[in-house]
Structure 1
């Protein structure tokens, strides 16, 4: 089990995850990261999420991987 954090950023803003989540492996961390991105996208807001990236880091602060929001959003219409 590993404690990981899911920070979101774009060129103007950074949302820091102070709670994180305990995951069993990288696949579980990836699935959780996708759910975080989907929940933010689905919130009722005027935010354009296309330039946002979710950074997944371990409890030492080392970045494990990133998830661009565009990978969840898909192609624009």
Structure 2
């Protein structure tokens, strides 16, 4: 089990995750990241999420992987 943090950014803004989540392995961290991206993008806002990226870091601050929101959203037509 390890603590991971899910920070989001684009070229104008950064949202830092100060709480994180405890996950069993990298696969669970990826599933959690995908659910978080879906949660953000399902909110009714004027935000265009296509240029956002989620950075998943371990408790030492090392980046484990990134999830571009377009990976979850798909490309616009």
Q: Name the structure 2 match of 1:49.
A: 49
Equivalent pairs counted in the alignment come to 77
Q: Distance in 1 between matches of 2:60 and 2:75?
A: 34
1:52-63 mapped onto 2 (5 Å cutoff)? 52-63=52-63
Q: Distance in 1 between matches of 2:74 and 2:38?
A: 12
Superposed CA RMSD: 0.5
Q: Name the structure 2 match of 1:34.
A: 34
For structure 1, the residue ranges without an aligned partner over 5 or more in a row are none
Structure 1 segments (4+ residues) deviating >3 Å: none
Normalising by structure 2, what TM-score?
A: 0.98
For structure 2, the residue ranges without an aligned partner over 5 or more in a row are none
Q: Name the structure 2 match of 1:20.
A: 20
Q: Name the structure 1 match of 2:9.
A: 9
Normalising by structure 1, what TM-score?
A: 0.98
